[in-house]
């Protein structure tokens, strides 16, 4: 029975021809990466959106549906902010809170990273403690404030404790999710390359899980910032310094809505600035380096 | 430069019983006299089944000499990849015995499986690092290997910036960085376009001659097997076992008539194997 066979592959050409052919194919097939300049729409668009909201707010307040001392307008808040700035309380509050948030965040990273890697890599531990960690993430960390006050009194210890309880579980969960999404091929390559358990965790699993890990850190920061504000609002006095939460609480006790709004806006701005200056660039770099950015709206 | 495979010392002749099922009558080049060199890999009555299912591999017998380039050919589902994983030590055989180099094997996958977070050079360096090569030496050695696959200029590019063919060449450089005498390749060029694949055949042959590695190359492409292998082993499907083998001479790669004849014969035999499952 005759079989139809396509033409066989033959060797042809000199080594030089071959080198040139290869170089030609390489340049044809690799994508040319354009250099990115500063994209001003990134700055101008959020600014424009902010202005639109501000104007809408001012217009609403000017229509006079509500008393000004209950719903202050942007101009009232700006006035109050500049008074507070003059007293130095804005600087003090932002600095105190930011410092606490940062220290709490760093401690959380130091605790959550080894913990997350261990849970992700060791099946027994994951089975045992996984549900607990997920559960802790659901528990609002404000729930720890009463316990923390009884244990640590009105000290920074209370603030840090609440921050850690808020940030660590979400960081651990982020890292575990990142590890779960690693293509199995990477581990096989690691095995073939002769990586030990520790080398596998540090050289292959951690870098491969980095996008998920950074997303977890970002969420951890958000949780710790929120928890910190809650702790500062509730825990006033003692050796607790004067943070943004304390400023908010002060506004409430004085029934000064402008101060309350100033504090809320300051808390929001710190969040936005940390996102824009810290996490956004890191995430963008990470994704671009892995070729995951093309076609996204970032 | 390393010795060419032909220069390998031959002490023990491998017995032809290595391929008991060889269909001698249908082979145009039924040279069952196995190459006279020291064996790098010996498989004896190797079997593999997953759980209680039908055996994937059964009674596989083969001997691969040091410095030899063997193409392992078979239709889909014949357990080629499983066999390769067993030789690599990634999986355990269910029965039989195998003899492989004690320091393991280098492995190259169908997709390049490069780590996207490091550059081409970083990928090669990581393989050297995991082998325990010192930091200073890593860089020079990695550049040498990238030079070998003609990719020195692309050393700092990330995998996503490289074409499929370039990625496979980096992957080859990484496999060579493992510095194991045995290189296992699991359909490494299957996903590439025809032009690139032809090119990589030349490239791989050149590198094989320069480095003197023993290569087991798994493929389902008869033309590729004839183009590359010194010997082609045909694996049957379900269960997989070596049912025939052919010697491929240099003439089979340069003479269109000879090459066509051998390719035709192997294709006929392969199709026969597949038809048995109709």
Under an 8 A CB cutoff, do B162 and A22 touch? no
CA distance, residue B240 to nearest chain A CA (Å): 23
Element holding B97 (H helix, E strand): strand B95-99
* pLDDT tops 80 at residue A166: yes
Cβ neighbours around B185 below 10 Å, total: 25
pLDDT at B259: 79
Under an 8 A CB cutoff, do A33 and B111 touch? no
A131-156: average pLDDT: 87
Task: Provide the sign of the torsion angle of the four alpha carbons A179, A180, A183, A185, taken in this order.
Answer: positive
pLDDT at A48: 92
- Give the homologous superfamily in CATH for domain A69-288: MetI-like (1.10.3720.10)
pLDDT at A82: 92
The pLDDT tens digits for A267-294 are: 998 988 888 888 888 988 888 888 887 6
The pLDDT tens digits for B2-13 are: 444 433 333 333
Which residues 5-44 of B have a C-beta within 8 angstroms of A? none
Cβ partners under 8 Å of residue A111, min gap 6: A164, A168
Residue with tokens 């063919």: B165
Which residues 195-224 of B have a C-beta within 8 angstroms of A? 195-196, 198-199, 201-203, 205-206, 223-224
List the structure tokens of A84.
Answer: 């507070």
Q: Is the ipTM of this complex over 0.90?
A: no
- The neighbouring-strand residues paired with B240 are B57
Residue of B214, B218, B213, B225 whose CA lies nearest to B252: B225
pLDDT at B4: 41
CB burial of A40-49 (b: ≥16 within 10 Å; e: otherwise) equals eeeeeeeeee
* Residue of B147, B172, B263, B269 for testing the chain A interface, max A β-carbons within 10 Å: B263
List the structure tokens of A71.
Answer: 């719903």
In CATH, what number does B5-105+182-275 get? Answer: 3.40.50.300
Regarding predicted confidence, which is higher, A56 or B165? A56
Sheet with B95-99, edge to edge strand ranges? B57-65, B39-48, B95-99
Residue extents of the structural domains in chain A: 69-288
Is B158 at the interface with chain A, CB within 8 A? yes
Under an 8 A CB cutoff, do A208 and B115 touch? yes
* pLDDT tops 80 at residue A109: yes
Under an 8 A CB cutoff, do A29 and B164 touch? yes
Chain B contacts of A21, Cβ < 8 Å? 199
The pLDDT tens digits for A95-107 are: 999 999 999 999 9
Is A203 at the interface with chain B, CB within 8 A? yes
Alpha-carbon span A62 to B230, nearest angstrom: 88
């Amino acid at each position: 029975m005759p079989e139809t066979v396509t033409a066989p592959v033959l060797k042809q050409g000199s080594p030089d021809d071959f080198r040139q052919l290869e170089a030609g194919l390489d340049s044809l097939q690799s994508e040319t990466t354009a250099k990115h300049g500063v994209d001003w729409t990134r700055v101008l668009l959020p600014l424009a959106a902010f202005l639109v909201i501000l104007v809408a707010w001012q217009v609403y307040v000017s229509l006079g549906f509500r008393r000004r001392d209950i719903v202050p307008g942007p101009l009232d808040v700006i006035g109050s902010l500049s008074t507070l700035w003059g007293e130095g309380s804005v600087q003090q509050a932002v600095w105190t809170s930011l410092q606490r948030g940062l220290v709490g965040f760093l401690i959380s990273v130091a605790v959550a990273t080894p913990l997350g890697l261990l849970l992700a890599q060791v099946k027994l531990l994951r089975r045992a403690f996984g549900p607990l960690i997920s559960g802790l993430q659901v528990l609002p960390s404000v729930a720890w404030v009463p316990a923390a006050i009884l244990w640590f009194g009105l000290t920074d210890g209370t603030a840090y404790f609440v921050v850690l309880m808020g940030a660590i579980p979400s960081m651990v969960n982020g890292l575990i999710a990142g590890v779960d999404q690693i293509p199995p091929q990477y581990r096989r390559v690691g095995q073939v390359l002769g990586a030990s358990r520790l080398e596998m965790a540090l050289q292959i699993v951690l870098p491969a899980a980095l996008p998920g890990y950074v997303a977890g850190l970002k969420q951890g920061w958000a949780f710790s910032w929120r928890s910190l504000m809650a702790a500062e609002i509730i825990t006033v006095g003692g050796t607790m310094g004067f943070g943004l939460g304390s400023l908010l609480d002060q506004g409430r006790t004085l029934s000064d809505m402008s101060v309350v709004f100033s504090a809320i806006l300051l808390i929001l701005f710190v969040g936005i600035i940390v996102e824009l200056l810290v996490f956004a660039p890191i995430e963008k770099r990470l994704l671009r380096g892995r070729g995951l950015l093309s076609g996204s709206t970032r | 430069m390393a010795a060419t495979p032909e220069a390998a010392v031959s002490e023990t002749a491998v017995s032809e019983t290595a391929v008991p099922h060889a269909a001698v009558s249908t082979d145009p080049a039924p040279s069952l006299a196995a190459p006279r060199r020291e064996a790098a890999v010996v498989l004896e009555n190797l079997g593999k089944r997953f759980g209680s299912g039908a055996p994937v591999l059964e009674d596989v017998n083969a001997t691969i000499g040091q410095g030899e380039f063997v193409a392992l050919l078979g239709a889909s589902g014949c357990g080629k990849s499983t066999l390769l994983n067993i030789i690599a030590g990634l999986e355990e055989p269910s029965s039989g015995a195998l003899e492989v180099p004690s320091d393991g094997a280098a492995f190259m996958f169908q997709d390049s499986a490069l780590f996207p977070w490091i550059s081409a050079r970083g990928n090669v360096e990581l393989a050297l690092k995991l082998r325990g090569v010192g930091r200073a030496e890593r860089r020079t050695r990695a550049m040498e290997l990238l030079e070998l696959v003609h990719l020195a200029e692309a050393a700092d590019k990330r995998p996503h910036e490289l074409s499929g063919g370039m990625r496979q060449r980096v992957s080859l450089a990484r496999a060579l960085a493992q510095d194991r005498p045995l290189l296992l390749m699991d359909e490494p060029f299957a996903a590439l376009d025809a032009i690139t694949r032809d090119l990589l055949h030349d490239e791989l042959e050149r590198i094989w001659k320069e480095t003197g590695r023993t290569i087991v190359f798994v493929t389902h492409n008869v033309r590729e097997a004839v183009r590359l292998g010194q010997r082609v082993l045909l694996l049957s499907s379900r269960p997989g076992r070596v049912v025939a083998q052919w010697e491929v001479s240099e003439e089979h790669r340069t003479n269109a008539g000879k090459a066509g004849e051998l390719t035709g014969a192997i294709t006929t035999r392969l199709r026969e194997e597949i038809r048995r499952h109709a």
